Amino acid sequence: EIVLTQSPGTLSLSPGEGATLSCRASQSVSSSFLAWYQHKPGQAPRLLIYGPTSRATGTPDRFSGSGSGTDFTLTISRLEPEDFAVYYCQQYHTSPTFGQGTKVEI
Amino acid sequence: EVQLVESGGGLVQPGGSLRLSCAASGFTFSSYDMHWVRQTTGKGLEWVSAIDTAGDTYYPDSVKGRFTISRDNAKNSLYLQINSLSVGDTAVYYCVRGAVWVEATYFDYWGRGTLVTVSS
């Protein structure tokens, strides 16, 4: 099983600032089969990024994904109030596994 | 608009059983692989079952033998039968649509989830 470790656990930021979220895999994720999700309380999780640089339908261009091998990053260029949420990475190189999440809070 | 609406969660005693349902709309249900993913306090998000368009099923070893996923394409519905429930099965269960290959995929649409609580 590929274990994903996200850091930091919590990011405390203000609207307008940038955010960098990290996801490290316990083994190489070939072909960069990695996705990112946003989850707000009481809502369905939402796919943001897959592949790991392709934006899902409706994902604003302030969100970008990068990385390969074992190290992946989700970057939010300028935080909007609606971006404060928990973000999860997920690999699909093998049976899907998820990171433990990074909470982006004000 | 794609919608996935789960139901059937609730409070169950250890050793009991439960059947979760998911009503799908807004897409051609029979053309997509479907999955259940759960979120527990201790282990976070965990993929627990999948069913492909041909009806073949897939499970991680952690739930094999206790979980049964099924689908009814005529009713645009997905189901999860959970037997021999334990406290560790307490979680929010999400109905999820797979985007690529059934055994290794990301998930492009999620429901809001249904809470299963296992307690005496």
Strand order through the sheet with A19-29: A4-7, A19-29, A63-76
Mean pLDDT of B75-98: 97
Give dist(CA B70, CA A56) in Å, integer.
28
CA torsion sign for A5, A63, A91, A38 is positive
- In Å, how far is B16's CA from the nearest CA of chain A? 27
Question: Is the CB of A93 less than 8 angstroms away from the CB of B113?
Answer: no
Which helix (H) or strand (E) segment holds residue B120: the answer is: none
Q: CA dihedral defined by B7, A34, B67, B39, rounded to 10 degrees?
A: -50
Question: Model confidence over B10-23: pLDDT tens digits?
Answer: 999 999 999 999 99
Tokens 């990475």, residue?
A89
Burial class (CB in 10 A: 0-12, 13-18, 19+), B100: middle
Give me the pLDDT at residue A31, please: 72
Neighbours of A98 (CB within 10 A): 23
- Number of helical H runs and strand E runs in chain A: 0, 10
Mean pLDDT of B45-58: 95
Give dist(CA B115, CA B93) in Å, integer.
6
Question: Model confidence over A73-89: pLDDT tens digits?
Answer: 999 999 999 999 999 99
A30 lies within 8 A of chain B by CB: no
B46 lies within 8 A of chain A by CB: yes
Give me the pLDDT at residue B41, please: 86
pLDDT of residue B101 exceeding 90: no
Name chain B contacts of A43, Cβ cutoff 8 Å: 112
Q: What band does B116 get if pLDDT is binned at 50, 70 and 90?
A: very high
Q: What is the mean pLDDT of chain B?
A: 95
Question: Model confidence over A22-53: pLDDT tens digits?
Answer: 999 999 997 789 999 999 988 999 999 999 89
A43 lies within 8 A of chain B by CB: yes
pLDDT of residue A10 exceeding 80: yes
Give dist(CA A57, CA B47) in Å, integer.
23
B27 lies within 8 A of chain A by CB: no
Q: Judge whether B71 and B51 are in contact, CB under 8 Å.
A: yes
